[in-house]
Amino acid sequence: MWRLAVGRLGRQVGLRRHSALAGLKGLREGAEVEGFEVLQVTRVPELFLEPVVRLEHAATGAQYLHLARADDHNNAFAAAFRTSPRDSTGLPHILEHVTLCGSQKYPVRDPFFKMLNRSLASFMNAMTGPDYTVYPFSTPNRKDYEQLLSVYADAVFRPLLRDLDFCQEGWRLEHEVVGDPSSPLVLRGVVFNEMKGVFADPQSRLHQHLLSYLLPGDTYAHSYGGEPLCIPALTADDLRRFHARCYHPSNARFVSYGSLPLADTLGRLQREQLAAFDRQEPVAAVSRESRWSQPRRVHLACAPDPLGAATNPEKRSTIAVAYACGDAADVYQTFSLQVLSELLLGGPTSVLHRALIEPGIGDGFAPCTYFEAQTRDTFFSVGLQGVSEKQFDEVQAAIDGALLRARDQGFEQEHVEAVLHSLELDAKTQSASFGLNLALGILPSWNHGADPVDCLNLAAHVARLRKQLAAEPNFLQTLLDQYLCSNTHKLTISMSPDEAYDEKLAQEEEQVLAQKVAQLDEETTRLVLEQGTQLQAEQMQEVDASCLPTLSVSDLTAEPQAYALKGCRLADKLPLFIFPQPTNGVTHFRALLDASGLDPELREGYLPLLLAVATKMGTASSDYRRFDRRVQLCTSGLGVTGHIVEHPVEAGQYLDAVLLSSVCLDRNVGRMMDLWRELLIEPSFSDAERLQTLVRSTAAELANGLAYSGHRYAMLNASSRLSAAGLRREKDSGLAFVAQMKNFASLDDQGVAETLLKLQELAASLYCSNLRFSLNVSPGEGEAAALKHLEADLASNLKNAPFERLFVPNEAIQSAGTSSSEHHVRPLPVGYLGRSIATGVPLLHPDYAALRITAQLLSARFLHPEVRERGGAYGGGATISTSGNFSFYSYRDPEASQKTPEVFSRAASWLLDSENIRQEHVDEAKLNVFQKVDAPTAPGDRGAANFLTGLDLEMLQRHRLALKAVSVEDVRRVAAQHLHQRPDRPLTVATTLIGPPAPHLDESWRVINAP
């Protein structure tokens, strides 16, 4: 809750500020507003919250917190409920899904997904946590806010909770061929398949078991998302009983944020929902865990790494040590422990990094390495992956020894200052989702009884900590001893792969299925058949969504937002873009380096590695530890990333560049520029051990990403066979990058030495290439200081030539009119499918806008019902890249190798059927697209699109007008021309499947087994 970015400053201030605050100025504690009693009125000026109002609903006891910020119109709202699970059936998670499947006022199947296309929301979602469920949204449009509030409130308080929706979203027995009683019965359901995908990631399973073994009380002993083999024990009646108990105003907490009048929101809630309820006993708070007298140890088996990224076949295990700490309701204690955690884990100068990562004991920290502040008992956990079972005792001894040394020796004052500086910078750096971040940060702690206003007072907690450290220099060491070193509530949990794990899991699922089938009699067998047929028939029906509120295309603004731009040249040559913005005393720096002129061998073989390690190797003047500490003391970090952008007009060209980026407080801009000068002029690639450590850590991190990003990997890989730019992206961040990092990690000493020489050569070439800069900074003194230091401390010391947008040919990889299919076999229970079609249509081509609308229309009206509702995948959709690659994808999909490819193939025919789309559907797709086009932008990011892509206001307006003008006829025309496969005009198509073995695939598929 302390890593919250501050939101954007709005464009309109005058009358809106007055009207938003007018109703709040007279509020006093004890006053009544629309059935709510005012409990507290205060202000948090450092977060621009004036005032903060805490209220309670008089009749039901519902709790309410309003965060008023008159100059931010990206208004947010969240409703949260305490939903502690009592088993691992995933009841809170499945209820979250089914709640959004229709309500009394809006009896529409799946109104949540329907509203995604009837709104300009900047955020819409619902999330389940270990002990709470939250329904948040945000939007910059007042009418939209009121409509979403009505839909969300009716959904949570008056959902239909139909049996069919439970079967679709949760689980069901169903004939493999629906309607055919001779076909075998199988288990299906969206959440059932989702959780199979979640736990396909070994680290996700470790995290769940860590939580349940460390805090084995009534709440955290269970999987709140649902253990796949336990989910079939849940019934729809269980769901309805849980809803009646937990989704009651007496158990609710609401947060609203922004510039809209508080009384309007309270009045709508009171009239439409709360007035119908009486007070009932809220769900009991999660109890504190009884403390252990002795540490405990657990060992788990898991599936092999699904990405095959392990660098050493003998070191594929993970071990973690976790400690139950304090009470989440104690805000200052939680804050202090979070500072301690940063000192122990944050960066190469931290205590446990030096004890575990530098010696090369393992490949890198496991994902369960963090301080958890959202459970009732907070906990600290440190894990190491890429170790052998023989090393478990060594790892535990290294952790114990490092913590004891830190307790006895203390922490460097400079290190403490670096952590506190990062908190200050995070608080001042504004994000577009400021209010949403605040709400989601507050609610988990508030759920445990913390004072929500106290959760906002970061500046007060920093001041208190500074004062306490001055009076008690050993305060942090005392915390370390109490909660870690001398803490007997300590769990050591380890995990090793079992090659037969997936087979055993499949057998267990077969046993669960067999038990369910054995329980069926003649009547229930008939009901299963009827239910499957009924569900399929309903999924095939056209949904009448006319009762749902909607915006219209006329609600869109006429023009894109314009931002002031100043231009000049530094050192008489290097271009600089300056965007004066109200950045709250923070300077945002960007620079682009041209990568198109690099030696092809260096570009292909080593640039992805350079991007991964560039800021972490130190310089000729500072070793990596010292350099990292300097970075922490004055910036939020230095970023070096690949930047590939297709030409908006010329289909055959793209920009191949490297982006440098960083953020600092205005007072530190000179120090930040000096860091960049040192990195660019004095790069050092001489530390072999450091490079090996970074490569192992990067490979370990990549191994954890497939379960959550498999569809991205699939689309990247498919697109890599269509164009040079796609191939660049695949090598920089796709499956090819995973394989490359694994190869680097396996190099011998000579190979590492050669790699260091190549990196030094590449850095020398890249860092001297063509360059241009960008600054987002507050006008006045901040702008003047940033310009002065950028020129004096950086630009004047460089010999780079100006970067004037040098586009390079975006050559085709695959022959035109051909198709290719690859199956990357991985040990997964579900699959991820990506298919890309090369349309050759760039952003400003006359057909691009229609294809962009078409992608959204397909996602909402064809792929969602086919892939998610009928196929059981967690998600699926279509998208188009700026190069014109039109891509389909599915996510955690049990049908990825069977039905889904055929669904993708039918998409164009579906579009061409005159019965399937009307202008109202096209207009709904436009609203969804404009959610992204007109998404709120933080001050530090305003104008960035111009600098990074070359899209100026005139180009953006052309694209905007083209989007608004798209008709049904346009959709059908582009579908026929660019997406419809015909013998006389074959498409250029590439398909990638990532998933388990699929022997039924024909010989056209190239099968690539895990490395």
pTM to 2 decimal places = 0.92
Residues, the chain: 1011
C-alpha–C-alpha distance, residues 338 and 341, integer Å: 5
Most confident of 6-20, 335-349, 539-553, 706-720: 335-349
Q: Does the pLDDT of residue 691 top 70, yes or no?
A: yes
Task: Identify the CATH number of the domain defined by range 6-276.
Answer: 3.30.830.10
C-alpha–C-alpha distance, residues 328 and 102, integer Å: 35
Backbone φ, ψ for residue 714 (5° rounding): -65, -45
Active site residue 1003: no
What is the DSSP secondary-structure string of 258-269?
ESS-HHHHHHHH
Which of these is catalytic: 29, 37, 50, 96?
96
What is the pLDDT at residue 812? Answer: 83
Note the maximum CA span of the chain: 86
Asked if 436 and 123 touch (Cβ cutoff 8 Å), the reply is yes
In what helix (H) or strand (E) does residue 755 lie, and over which residues does it extend? helix 749-766
Least confident of 30-44, 283-297, 549-563, 921-935: 549-563
What is the pLDDT at residue 310? Answer: 60
Looking at residue 788, its amino acid is K
Residue 621 is classified by DSSP as S
Q: Does the pLDDT of residue 823 top 80, yes or no?
A: yes
**Which residues are CB-neighbours of 36 under 8 A, at least 6 positions away?**
55, 56, 57, 58, 64, 266, 270
Per-residue pLDDT band for 307 (boundaries 50, 70, 90) equals low
Q: Model confidence over 229-247: pLDDT tens digits?
A: 999 999 999 999 999 999 9
- The yes/no answer on whether domain 819-1009 falls in CATH 3.30.750.80 is no
Q: Does the pLDDT of residue 26 top 80, yes or no?
A: no
SS3 574: strand
Of 851, 881, 895, 947, which Cα lies nearest the Cα of 730?
Answer: 881
Per-residue pLDDT band for 799 (boundaries 50, 70, 90) equals confident
Of 627, 631, 619, which Cα lies nearest the Cα of 682?
Answer: 619
Per-residue pLDDT band for 543 (boundaries 50, 70, 90) equals confident
Q: Model confidence over 137-164: pLDDT tens digits?
A: 999 999 999 999 999 999 999 999 999 9
Q: At what angle do helices 706-719 and 735-745 cross, to 10 degrees?
A: 110
Asked if 418 and 632 touch (Cβ cutoff 8 Å), the reply is yes
Cα→Cα distances 590→8, 578, 615, Å: 19, 10, 15
Q: In whole angstroms, how large is the CA radius of gyration of the chain? A: 28
What is the pLDDT at residue 309? Answer: 54
In what helix (H) or strand (E) does residue 430 lie, and over which residues does it extend? strand 430-431
Q: Does the pLDDT of residue 20 top 60, yes or no?
A: no
Matching fold, domains 296-431+450-497 and 566-809: yes
What is the pLDDT at residue 195? Answer: 95
* Segments making up each domain of the chain, as ranges: 6-276, 296-431+450-497, 566-809, 819-1009
Cα→Cα distances 289→217, 293, 830, 837, Å: 6, 12, 36, 54
Residue 486 CB neighbours (<10 A) = 10
What is the pLDDT at residue 25? Answer: 74
Least confident of 7-21, 331-345, 443-457, 467-481: 7-21
Q: Model confidence over 552-562: pLDDT tens digits?
A: 999 999 899 88
C-alpha–C-alpha distance, residues 659 and 590, integer Å: 7
Asked if 7 and 69 touch (Cβ cutoff 8 Å), the reply is yes
Of 243, 261, 93, 246, which Cα lies nearest the Cα of 171?
Answer: 93
What is the pLDDT at residue 8? Answer: 23
C-alpha–C-alpha distance, residues 879 and 489, integer Å: 49
Of 67, 57, 524, which Cα lies nearest the Cα of 282?
Answer: 57
Could you tell me whether strands 819-825 and 989-995 are parallel, antiparallel, or unpaired per DSSP bridges? parallel
Tokens 């502040």 correspond to what residue?
373
What is the pLDDT at residue 2? Answer: 26
What is the pLDDT at residue 17? Answer: 33
Per-residue pLDDT band for 97 (boundaries 50, 70, 90) equals very high
Of 992, 956, 964, 942, which Cα lies nearest the Cα of 735?
Answer: 992
Average pLDDT, the chain: 93
What is the pLDDT at residue 24? Answer: 75
What is the pLDDT at residue 5? Answer: 24
**Which residues are CB-neighbours of 918 under 8 A, at least 6 positions away?**
968
C-alpha–C-alpha distance, residues 18 and 259, integer Å: 10
**In the numeric block, which tokens belong to residue 874?**
């967690």
C-alpha–C-alpha distance, residues 66 and 684, integer Å: 51
Per-residue pLDDT band for 862 (boundaries 50, 70, 90) equals very high
What's the distance, Cα to Cα, between the start and end of the chain in Å?
40
- According to CATH, the superfamily of the domain at 296-431+450-497 is Metalloenzyme, LuxS/M16 peptidase-like (3.30.830.10)
What is the pLDDT at residue 700? Answer: 82
Q: Model confidence over 383-413: pLDDT tens digits?
A: 999 999 999 999 999 999 999 999 999 999 9
C-alpha–C-alpha distance, residues 11 and 582, integer Å: 10
CATH class of 566-809: alpha beta
Q: Model confidence over 612-667: pLDDT tens digits?
A: 999 999 999 999 999 999 999 999 999 999 999 999 998 889 999 999 999 999 99
The percentage of the chain sitting over the pLDDT mark of 90, rounded to a whole number, equals 86
